[in-house]
Amino acid sequence: DTGVSQDPRHKITKRGQNVTFRCDPISEHNRLYWYRQTLGQGPEFLTYFQNEAQLEKSRLLSDRFSAERPKGSFSTLEIQRTEQGDSAMYLCASSPTGETQYFGPGTRLLVL
Amino acid sequence: AQSVSQHNHHVILSEAASLELGCNYSYGGTVNLFWYVQYPGQHLQLLLKYFSGDPLVKGIKGFEAEFIKSKFSFNLRKPSVQWSDTAEYFCAVNAGLTGGGNKLTFGTGTQLKVEL
């Protein structure tokens, strides 16, 4: 399968713990996006990378959230000091040009 | 700022019925328009897209959508639905700029259930 992959698929953590998610984009896609989806809502944009540069961050991305794409390939999204309100599906998408984005299966986070 | 409205949150149809899901967007510039579908237990998949040209676009599995610029609409249609079309459908838009970030703005989704 050469699509976007995400790991882990599910994560349960206790409030206050740190979590890290990984996204592997489609090979040679230089744009990578993170979105968050809560129940009954469509995905909401968090941040995006062009190669290794993080070019835009949403206001949704509080200072407890950090994302990296160190070599312009895979990306990580870390949430520090998790809160119950962080419970959501975290989606990653990649694109060769930014116009059409291809989504991964997501990481479902539950904060207890 | 961009916004997308999907007016039908839940739709129930019988097999062979026709489908039309509404989508309206708000944005002052050139846009790209998309419909994504999420089948139960699966990830978001692109159903169809409109960038420019013929406003009637055809996608996979017999779906089509019509861009009406004057109405800021991009409604999804299918003449005859199948049970396998049961899924959640999302309309999305991004700025039609080359070289821009092109973040997607999604609607809240329409849950379609097709009954046998």
10-residue mean pLDDT profile of chain B (116 residues): values are 89 97 89 94 93 94 95 96 97 74 91 96
| A62-74 CB burial, b ≥16 within 10 A, e <16 | eeebebebeeebb
The pLDDT of residue B98 is 55
- What pLDDT, on a 0 to 100 scale, did the predictor assign at position A60? 83
- Min Cα–Cα distance to chain B from A69, Å: 16
Nearest to A39, CA basis, from B33, B9, B12, B30? B9
Check if B39 contacts A (Cβ < 8 Å).
Answer: no
Q: Give the separation between CA A19 and CA A95, rounded to whole angstroms.
A: 25
Specify whether the CB–CB gap between B9 and B66 falls below 8 A: no
Q: In sequence order, what DSSP letters do the residues of B40-66 get, joined into one string?
A: TTS--EEEEEE-SS-SEEE-GGG-EEE
pLDDT tens, position by position, A62-78: 899 999 999 889 999 99
pLDDT for B100: 57
Tally of residues, chain A: 112
- Inter-chain touch B103–A55, beta carbons under 8 Å: no
CA–CA dist B73, B5 (Å, integer): 9
Reduced to 3 DSSP states, what percent helix, strand and coil does chain B have, rounded to the nearest 5?
A: 10, 50, 40
Chain A residue numbers with beta carbons less than 8 Å from the beta carbon of B110 are: none
Residue A106's pLDDT is: 97
Option in B49, B90, B102 nearest A42 (CB): B90
Q: Are A46 and A56 in contact (CB under 8 A)?
A: no
